[in-house]
Amino acid sequence: MKLLFEHVQIAKDRSWKGLHRNLSAIPFEWHYHPEYELTLTLGSQGQRYVGDHIAAYGDDDLVLLGPNLPHTWHSANAAPPSTNQETMRAHEAALQVAPNQTAHQAFVFWFTSDWINSVCRTMPELVGLENALRLARRGVKFDAQTARKVAAFAPDFDHGNAADQLIMLIEVLRTLMDATELSPLASERFDAAIPEHDDASRLGRVLDVLHGNYLEPVTSAWLAQHAGMSERTLRRFFHRHMGSNIQDYLMGLRLGRAASLLLSSDMPIYQVAEEAGFQNLSHFNRQFKRHRGLAPSQFRSRRIEPVKVSG
């Protein structure tokens, strides 16, 4: 998985930026950015990756992501991941469908921490958003009913002047306050401090190495060499920004991979363990139950059948 830094350019005369993606498939774009992101996905199914959380998604998928949280959606019909940003963007351009056709749709709202914190501070009516914003540091999924309410604003997403669109965003945020179910996605280790831009770039390089090699035996000494830091500095830097040590983070990635395979395939559990980087089946079973609360076989038995894509 190649982790990329995405530069979200919000115009100086705007409070937020929006993007309507209407694609024949949603490509794998493993990335992060310092802005909050609210994404509504419609007419699609596949795998959703947020930090160390990997799970199936279907129609009416509404997720709020906090700053610098690695994430991507990857529809079931999409090609394997691209390896660099230029290829990634060219690939997405090729997936665009005609405006009058409906395919995999995503409505994306980006806004900064400073802006949303100012909104909550100056508009006491919206102070109820603070819980969702706090959970968003790990990524938070909203219930389907809330997603459908937000979807009702979709026809106005690309229409109206700047003031009209700001009002629409405020109405969307107000809708989030009525959510009956908020489900955190990434593990608590991702509920960490927001790095400054320079630290975010360094963190991106470290995470790039980890996500490209997490199925292999990885030591902090080896990672420090690739990151250009001393081992001690790397350990402190990583814990400060990710809220966990390196080995715990790696465990989360491996278990996320295992969860994805359990949800999306019928391969034997011993093979799932091997494909997720575990050399010992009993160790895999212990770690999976410890972190997920269920044995791998129980986790698989509770999987939800994917939602059929319309259009």
Say if residue 198's pLDDT is above 80. Answer: no
Q: What is the mean pLDDT of residues 292-296?
A: 87
Say if residue 125's pLDDT is above 60. Answer: yes
Q: What is the pLDDT of residues 206-231, one digit of tens each?
A: 877 887 788 888 889 999 988 888 99
Q: What percent of the chain has pLDDT over 70?
A: 83
Dihedral over alpha carbons 255, 258, 262, 267 (to 10 degrees): -150
Q: What is the mean pLDDT of residues 1-7?
A: 67
Q: What is the mean pLDDT of residues 231-244?
A: 84
Q: Which of 42-56, 59-73, 154-168, 194-208 has the lowest mean pLDDT?
A: 194-208
Report the mean per-residue pLDDT for the chain: 84
Q: What percent of the chain has pLDDT over 90?
A: 46
| Greater model confidence, 11 or 189 | 11
pLDDT on residue 82:
46
Say if residue 3's pLDDT is above 90. Answer: no
If pLDDT is split at 50, 70 and 90, which confidence band does 305 have? Answer: very low
The CATH H-level superfamily of 195-301 is Homeodomain-like (1.10.10.60)
The domain ranges of the chain are 4-184, 195-301
- Would you list the DSSP string of 216-260? S---HHHHHHHHTS-HHHHHHHHHHHHSS-HHHHHHHHHHHHHHH
Q: What is the mean pLDDT of residues 262-280?
A: 88
If pLDDT is split at 50, 70 and 90, which confidence band does 154 have? Answer: very high
Q: Which of 10-19, 66-75, 200-209, 268-277 has the lowest mean pLDDT?
A: 200-209
Q: Which of 94-98, 106-110, 198-202 has the lowest mean pLDDT?
A: 94-98
Is the CATH number of domain 4-184 1.10.287.3510?
Answer: no
- Would you list the DSSP string of the chain? ---EE------TT-S-EEEEEEESS-----EE-SSEEEEEEES--EEEEETTEEEEE-SSEEEEE-TT--EEEEETTSPSPPSSHHHHHHHHHHTB--TTS--EEEEEEEE-HHHHHHHHHH-GGGGGGHHHHHHGGG-EEEPHHHHHHHHTTGGGTT-S-HHHHHHHHHHHHHHHTT-S-EEE-S-GGG--PPPPHHHHHHHHHHHHHHHHHTTS---HHHHHHHHTS-HHHHHHHHHHHHSS-HHHHHHHHHHHHHHHHHHH----HHHHHHHTT-S-HHHHHHHHHHHHSS-HHHHHHTPPPPPPPP-
If pLDDT is split at 50, 70 and 90, which confidence band does 200 have? Answer: low
Which residue, among 305, 303, 309, has the nearest Cα to 59 in the 3D structure?
Answer: 309
Q: What is the pLDDT of residues 7-47, one digit of tens each?
A: 898 998 999 999 999 999 998 787 888 899 999 999 998 88
Single pTM value for the model = 0.67
Q: What is the mean pLDDT of residues 52-74?
A: 88
Residues counted in the chain: 311
Q: What is the pLDDT of residues 155-164, one digit of tens each?
A: 999 888 999 9
| Greater model confidence, 51 or 305 | 51
Q: Which of 259-268, 285-294, 301-310: highest mean pLDDT? A: 285-294
